[in-house]
């Protein structure tokens, strides 16, 4: 058995487990949002924050990025969700709820993408963890910045 077959099967398993987790989080968020509306923004942010951290935990072993960067990036994203739910006005919460469900998706797509051969994303490369943290910050700013446009 070659290491490439092992990596592919691990990515496939990660893809299916992550997709099930993503579906469960998105459905739970949709049900909560429908039941509580704008008054439940903090609870909805908690569901999506927990979903983001859970997705990072589920997928971090199948990726070439350092594990610290997955934990740090998911924590920053979950904190940004909570803060944006608290700081948003009622007019902005609809736009916020329409983009907040995409936070766990970042970890799923990055985890199932085959490793780069450039060396930046190797497990022991210096810049790979910071690259992921920067990507997560930009992704967060884009998704949460939409509600103020």
What is the Cα–Cα distance from 65 to 60, expressed in whole angstroms?
A: 8
pTM: 0.83
Average pLDDT over residues 68-82: 92
Q: Which of 101, 125, 126, 121 is nearest to 45 (CA)?
A: 101
Domain boundaries, the chain: 3-148
Please report the pLDDT score of residue 41 as a whole number.
Answer: 86
Q: How confident is the model at residue 61 (pLDDT cuts 50, 70, 90)?
A: confident
User: Hunting for tokens 């983001």 — which residue is that?
Assistant: 52
- How far apart CA 143 and CA 137 sit, in angstroms, is 10
């Amino acid at each position: 058995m070659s290491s490439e077959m092992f990596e592919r099967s691990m990515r496939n398993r990660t893809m299916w487990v992550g997709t099930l987790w993503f579906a469960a989080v998105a459905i739970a968020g949709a049900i909560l949002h429908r039941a509580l509306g704008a008054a439940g923004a903090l609870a909805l942010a908690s569901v999506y924050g927990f979903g983001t951290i859970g997705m990072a935990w589920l997928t971090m072993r199948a990726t070439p990025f350092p594990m610290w960067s997955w934990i740090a990036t998911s924590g920053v994203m979950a904190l940004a969700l909570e803060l944006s739910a608290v700081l948003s006005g009622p007019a902005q919460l609809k736009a916020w709820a329409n983009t907040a469900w995409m936070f766990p998706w970042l970890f799923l797509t990055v985890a199932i993408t085959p490793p780069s051969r450039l060396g930046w994303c190797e497990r022991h490369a210096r810049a790979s963890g910071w690259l992921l943290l920067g990507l997560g910050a930009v992704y967060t700013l884009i998704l949460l910045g939409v509600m103020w446009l």
